[in-house]
């Protein structure tokens, strides 16, 4: 199966259609009295999408009252109140600005005692299933080819689990966040597995800028492999890569 690729000149233009698709899903489900289930991502990439969703809420009356969310991942050892935790990120970048019920927003718990992590991960997968499965999963991509925090090597069957972070990821995330301090970046995380991600009905991976061009090419063109976890998306029936011109420049 080949991945559908949509290229726009800028990220602002690129996310318009994605936000419109999410809005259409939310409104269609609301009309049926049902929940829309969104899989959400963190990192710098989806911020522009969340800005557009907030605009749709404030200017076009899009309500998030019938939305349930499941985030991909969380740093292990950071409480949700820590300004570098993904729970904090989601609250400040999206949830605090729309009318979503925070009780229906799920982010893996990075503070579970080590001996209870496996059980908490299994429950996260079970909760996604019980909610009816993810309708639209938003993804970014790391330069190692990771989706969520599934670092290479990673097979397509993995479920929510704890992972050790790659050196490049720790460096990239210190550069962008963590006040640039590498020693502050946690060394492990809890993440949905690739298999968990592949269960979503639709997957939309976003990528901007030239420094993602190589890994985008590997993910789309090379045979799926454990060494590039994003390449497993080629085996998903409805995956779209939404790129700006720079990220698509090596395709
Ligand atoms: C983080 C997140 C990923 C994200 C990636 C890319 O490590 N766990 O979900 O896709 O980094 O980050 P950015 O969007 O800042 O390039």
pLDDT number for residue 1: 66
Reported as a pLDDT band with limits 50, 70 and 90, residue 11 is very high
Nearest CA to ligand 1 atom 10: 140
Query: Is residue 45 lining ligand 1, measured as CB closer than 6 Å?
Result: yes
Q: Indicate if the pLDDT at residue 173 is higher than 80.
A: yes
Query: Is residue 43 lining ligand 1, measured as CB closer than 6 Å?
Result: yes
Strand extents, DSSP E, the chain: 4-8, 36-40, 67-71, 73-75, 105-106, 136-139, 161-164, 188-191, 202-207, 239-244
Residue to probe by mutation, ligand 1, list 41, 166, 192, 215, most atoms within 8 Å of CB = 41
Tokens representing residue 238 in the block: 């409805």
Q: What is the DSSP letter of 204?
A: E
Distance CA 249, CA 34 (A): 40
List pLDDT tens digits, range 95-143: 999 999 999 999 999 999 999 999 999 999 999 999 999 999 999 999 9
State the distance from the centre of ligand 1 to the C-alpha of 132, rounded, in angstroms.
26
Q: Please report which helix (H) or strand (E) contains residue 125, including its range.
A: helix 117-130
List pLDDT tens digits, range 53-89: 999 999 999 999 999 999 999 999 999 999 999 999 9
Relative to the CA of 141, which ligand 1 atom is closest?
Answer: 10
Tokens representing residue 196 in the block: 């968990």
Query: Is residue 73 lining ligand 1, measured as CB closer than 6 Å?
Result: yes
10-to-65, 167, 207 alpha-carbon distances in Å? 30, 30, 11
* Residue 207: count of CB within 10 angstroms of its CB: 24
Mean pLDDT of 19-34: 98
Relative to the CA of 176, which ligand 1 atom is closest?
Answer: 15
Query: Is residue 156 lining ligand 1, measured as CB closer than 6 Å?
Result: no
Pick the CATH number of 4-136+147-197+220-244 from 3.40.50.12160, 3.60.130.10, 3.30.930.10, 3.40.50.1360: 3.40.50.1360
Nearest CA to ligand 1 atom 5: 142
Q: 0.85 cut: is pTM over it?
A: yes
Query: Is residue 239 lining ligand 1, measured as CB closer than 6 Å?
Result: no
List pLDDT tens digits, range 209-233: 999 999 999 999 999 999 999 999 9
Which of these, 217, 203, 218, lies nearest to 247 by C-alpha position? 217
State the distance from the centre of ligand 1 to the C-alpha of 141, rounded, in angstroms.
6
Largest CA distance in the chain: 49
Query: Is residue 140 lining ligand 1, measured as CB closer than 6 Å?
Result: yes
State the distance from the centre of ligand 1 to the C-alpha of 44, rounded, in angstroms.
7
State the distance from the centre of ligand 1 to the C-alpha of 30, rounded, in angstroms.
31
Query: Is residue 142 lining ligand 1, measured as CB closer than 6 Å?
Result: yes
Nearest CA to ligand 1 atom 1: 43
Distance CA 132, CA 134 (A): 7
Buried b (16+ CB within 10 A) or exposed e, 33-60: eebbbbbbbbbebbebbbbbbbebbeee
């Amino acid at each position: 199966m080949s991945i559908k690729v949509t290229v726009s000149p800028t990220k602002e233009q690129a996310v318009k259609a994605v936000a419109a698709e999410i809005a259409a899903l939310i409104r269609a489900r609301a009309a049926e009295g049902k929940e829309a289930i969104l899989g959400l991502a963190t990192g710098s990439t989806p911020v522009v999408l969340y800005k557009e969703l907030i605009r749709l809420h404030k200017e076009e009356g899009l309500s998030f009252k019938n939305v349930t969310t499941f985030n991909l991942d969380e740093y292990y050892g950071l409480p949700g109140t820590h300004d570098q935790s993904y729970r904090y990120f989601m609250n400040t970048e999206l949830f605090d600005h729309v009318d979503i019920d925070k009780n229906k927003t799920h982010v893996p718990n990075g503070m579970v005692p080590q001996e209870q992590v496996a059980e908490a991960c299994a429950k996260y997968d079970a909760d996604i299933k019980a909610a009816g499965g993810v309708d639209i999963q938003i993804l970014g991509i790391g330069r190692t080819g990771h989706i969520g925090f599934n670092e290479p090597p990673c097979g397509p069957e993995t479920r929510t689990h704890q992972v050790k972070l790659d050196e490049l990821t720790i460096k990239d995330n210190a550069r962008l966040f963590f006040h640039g301090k590498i020693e502050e970046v946690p060394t492990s995380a809890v993440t949905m597995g690739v298999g968990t991600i592949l269960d979503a009905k639709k997957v939309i991976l976003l990528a901007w800028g030239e420094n993602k061009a190589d890994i985008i090419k590997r993910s789309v063109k090379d045979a799926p492999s454990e060494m590039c976890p994003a390449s497993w998306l080629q085996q998903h029936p409805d995956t779209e890569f939404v790129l700006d011109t720079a990220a698509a420049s090596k395709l």
